């Protein structure tokens, strides 16, 4: 094959790959579909914790122990073995918001904890209440005005895990609730 034909094949292949990636990206932006919006989450985090967050005194899953994730906040999460990095007692919220970066509305985002809401006070918020998000689990989240969809007082966990879809290891993922974990065998 001539160099021109090989070059043309490379250009066509790259164009197709870019086109398909763009299509997949548009699908992932569909914030109203619930979990599909979580594809844009910051999968690994710094492990930095909000002020005033209290470690759980008697968590079901101790720091350093293993558990199986039973929810799919993002691709490859359901069924992954997690190592517990932190356990905290708090109020956890599912909430809906319009991203500050102009992205599509995100509905029922799971999870933001009470300590990640700006000026939330000491009392838990209730469904229908509004709050300003003070964390950046996803692009456009920090500073967004949110409506609380649900509120649950529980233990939340920061976890490390290797996704079941073969993607890179996730470290310091915030947050998984106690009922989204089962004991590792």
pLDDT digits (tens, 9 = 90+) for 107-131: 999 999 999 999 999 999 999 999 9
Find out whether the peptide bond into 111 is cis, omega within 30 degrees of 0: yes
Residue 79 CA: distances (Å) to CA of 17, 33, 114, 134: 29, 21, 27, 30
Chain segment 4-38, per-residue pLDDT in tens:
544 444 343 444 333 333 333 333 333 333 444 44
Domains in the chain and their CATH numbers? 54-183 (2.30.30.1210)
Name the one residue in this structure whose structure tokens are 């229908």. 128
Reading the block at residue 64, the tokens are 């350093």
As a whole number of angstroms, the distance between CA 184 and CA 150 comes to 28
Split at pLDDT 50, 70, 90, the class of 138 is: confident
């Amino acid at each position: 094959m001539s160099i021109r034909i090989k070059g043309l094949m490379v250009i066509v292949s790259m164009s197709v790959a870019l086109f398909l990636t763009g299509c997949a990206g548009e699908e992932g932006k569909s914030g109203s579909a619930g979990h599909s919006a979580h594809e844009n989450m910051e999968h690994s985090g710094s492990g930095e914790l909000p002020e005033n967050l209290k470690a759980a005194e008697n968590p079901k899953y101790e720091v350093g122990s293993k558990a199986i994730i039973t929810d799919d906040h993002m691709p490859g999460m359901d069924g992954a073995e997690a190592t517990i990095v932190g356990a905290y007692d708090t109020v956890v919220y599912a909430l809906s918001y319009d991203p500050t970066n102009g992205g599509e509305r995100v509905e029922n985002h799971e999870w933001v904890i009470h300590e990640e809401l700006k000026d939330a006070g000491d009392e838990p918020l209730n469904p229908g209440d509004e709050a300003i998000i003070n964390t950046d689990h996803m692009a456009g989240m920090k500073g967004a005005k949110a409506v609380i969809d649900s509120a649950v007082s529980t233990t939340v966990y920061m976890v490390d895990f290797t996704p079941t879809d073969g993607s890179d290891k996730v470290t310091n993922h915030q947050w998984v609730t106690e009922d989204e974990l089962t004991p590792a065998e």
